[in-house]
Amino acid sequence: MNNPQDVPKLSGFFLSCDGLDGTGKTTQCQRLVDWLQAAGFRVTTAIDPGGTALGAKLREILLFGREHTLTLRAEALLFMASRAQLVAEVIRPALARGEIVVSDRFLLANVVYQGHAGGLAPETLWSLGQFATDGLTPDLTVLFDLPVEQTRERRKQHADRMEARAEAYQHRVREGFLTEAARQPECIVRIDASPPVEQVWENVRQVVTQSLRAKGFAIREGEPPQGQ
């Protein structure tokens, strides 16, 4: 484990987007990136699992490697391994440079998919996640929420291994996300993904603006943030 003096001081802002596939999560996540970059911020993007050479291989196994039969614990640990590498290679260095990091999923997804929905203990996964990330957690997680039936209607791409699981599993995933948001309202903010995309975006923008301002980033009300 790193000595305290080995861990760089972090001056950036860490934002993650999460929720069921089909909620518009990835679209809104990219819109956030474009908005922040247009405002002059230095932004690093991340995807979990993935984002590194090792992570890309693990992502292929975890989401599309149907030739592999993974136990639930093996699945959870592979997600953790990908995340550990992502934090070390990408996220911590970017935060140390004072950048904003926008990640499509992070530890919350592990806790929900393998914990609340899969049957592993969520508190154990939170603990493993703290070890894997060396204690790094997002400043803000934007949780996009939509009933399972609507997410299935919206999805256009072929389902990955997680998406292809039974309807009951997907309902447990949604309930897990809502449970964790209720437990941690200060850092996990639910966004209703059912309105038109522009209204969802406006709600996301307001939430992110407030969180950035609370962290000391200069933002004028009703305007994009101004880069430092």
Q: What pLDDT, on the 0 to 100 scale, is given for residue 71?
A: 92
Ordered by where they begin, the domains of the chain are: 12-214 (3.40.50.300)
Phi, psi of 47 (to 5 degrees): -135, 135
Q: What pLDDT, on the 0 to 100 scale, is given for residue 225?
A: 46
24 vs 22: CA distance, rounded Å: 6
Contact between 84 and 132 under an 8 Å Cβ cutoff? The reply is: yes
pLDDT digits (tens, 9 = 90+) for 173-213: 999 999 999 999 999 999 999 999 999 999 999 999 999 99
**Residues 6+ positions from 59 with CB-CB distance below 8 Å:** 47, 49, 50, 82
Q: What pLDDT, on the 0 to 100 scale, is given for residue 227?
A: 43
pLDDT digits (tens, 9 = 90+) for 50-62: 999 999 999 999 9
Tell me what percent of the residues of the chain surpass a pLDDT of 70.
Answer: 87
Contact between 17 and 25 under an 8 Å Cβ cutoff? The reply is: yes
pLDDT greater at residue 140 or residue 220: 140
pLDDT digits (tens, 9 = 90+) for 118-154: 999 999 999 999 999 999 999 999 999 999 999 887 7
Q: What pLDDT, on the 0 to 100 scale, is given for residue 160?
A: 65
18 vs 109: CA distance, rounded Å: 7
DSSP per residue over the chain, as a string? Answer: ---GGGSPPP-SEEEEEEE-TTSSHHHHHHHHHHHHHHTT--EEEEESS-SSHHHHHHHIIIII-TTS---HHHHHHHHHHHHHHHIIIIIHHHHHTT-EEEEES-HHHHIIIIIITTSS-HHHHHHHHHHHTTT---SEEEEEE--HHHHHHH--SPP-TTTTS-HHHHHHHHHHHHHHHHH-TTTEEEEE--S-HHHHHHHHHHHHHHHHHHTT----TTSPPPP-
